[in-house]
Structure 1
Amino acid sequence: MRERKKQKTRWAIQEHAVRLFAQQGYDATTVEQIAEAAEISPSTFFRYFKTKEDVVIQDRYDDLMIEAIRTAPPEFTPLEVVRHSFLSAFSTISQEEVDQVLARSKLSFTVPALRMRALDNMQASIAVLAAPLAERLGRPPDDFRARAFVGACVGAIINAMIDWVHRDGQMDVLAAMDEALSVISDGP
């Protein structure tokens, strides 16, 4: 229960931050303003997010995808496991959360400081997601081939996300992700 309350606070802070960034611009919005809007202290903000960039970049999807990788049917190929993990994680979120992902993605693609932080986060996510895939394959968690494969899949997903953002969310993002991943198996 305590953990759920912490997560609820975390996402409320993020929601207020994204709203303020959209209204005032990323650079013009301060941590103090975010804290005030979320009715917390600035020190509480920093208990949840180490930096202002993290309030945009952090999400819960790695945990959802790790669980989906671990619970995917044993007969799935590596691509089927990754496809299952991405699609099942994103199909469970509400429309409100999808809108929040769109707003955060727009910020990540347009604010230079966030673009760099998003790249760092992607590299960390690739390693985190590759570990359970490597385990499924009987390899060590830091297996290079598993990381390279997950990195290729993430690259495909990023292209789907870029199209989704450029179309202002006016497309089926799950279908775009699925199509992007099909390029890994089928080629262009």
Structure 2
Amino acid sequence: MASLRERKKQQTRQALMDAAGRLFDEQGYEATTVDQIAAAAGVSPRTFFSYFRHKADLLHTNLYERLDAGVAAILAGRPGESPAELLARAFDEMLAESWTMGLTPGLVGDAVKLPIFSPRASIDRADTRMERLAAALVTSCGISRMTAYAMVGAAIGAVSGTAAVSMSEDRPDEETLALTSRACRQALAGFTA
């Protein structure tokens, strides 16, 4: 059970995320300031920065939780499951609650249009996913590190590309989820041979 201090920290973090989501919806991401988010959450801007490095971090609040779900799915492999099947199931787990690969639910459509989604930021997030998922594949399946990285890279590329096109076409979330799942499996099909 979490200590009182830990529960208080979790409540403050959640209050900041909730306030940001509300303000982003009401006035847009660009018009919302850190000071406004902190005030709406009832904390100081200094407290905000003890939880998040900058405003953009609020858009990716669940990345590590989703990665944990994917790693757990890989490490809990079923007998006879191939590395490609394991990884595809891991992506299903990661995408189940938030198909956005770490974006805060409700902020997806606007978030992908923001200038903060620079190639460098995308690469940093992809590197984190690749390292964690590839390491789990190596541990669970005994495949080479190079093969594990190639598989994870193929899956991330398929999911990210498919999600971007689907969102740009304003497809419903359920359809985007189905399309990304299928694209992931197609990208990994070559690794089963």
Q: TM-score over 0.5 for the alignment? A: yes
On the 8 A contact 1:106/1:165 being kept in 2, the answer is: yes
Q: Aligned in 2, Cα 1:128/1:104: closer, same or farther, shift over 3 Å? A: farther
Deviation, 1:132, is: 0.7
2:156 corresponds to which of 129, 154, 175: 154
Q: What is the aligned counterpart of 2:53 among 47, 50, 53?
A: 50
CA RMSD of aligned residues (A): 2.8
What does residue 78 of structure 2 align with? 73
Q: 1:166 aligns with which of 165, 168, 171?
A: 168
Distance 1:8 1:65 in 2: 25
Percent sequence identity over matched residues? 33
| Structure 2: runs of 5+ lacking an equivalent | none
Q: Which moved more, 1:16-25 or 1:150-159?
A: 16-25
**TM-score normalized by the length of structure 2:** 0.77
TM-score by length of 1: 0.79
Is residue 112 of structure 2 the alignment partner of residue 106 of structure 1?
A: no
Q: Aligned to 1:110, what secondary structure does the other structure show?
A: coil
Q: Which runs of 4+ in 1 moved over 6 A?
A: none
What is the SS of the residue equivalent to 2:112?
helix
Number of the residue aligned with 2:36: 33
Structure 1 residues 129 and 29: alpha-carbon distance in aligned structure 2, compared to 1, 3 A threshold: same
Per-residue deviation, residues 49-94 of structure 1 (Å, max 9, x unmatched): 1222211123121111111111121421111111111212333x38
Q: Which runs of no fewer than 5 residues in structure 1 stay unpaired?
A: none
Tell which structure's C-alpha radius of gyration is larger. Answer: 2
Q: Equivalent of 2:25, from 16, 22, 26?
A: 22
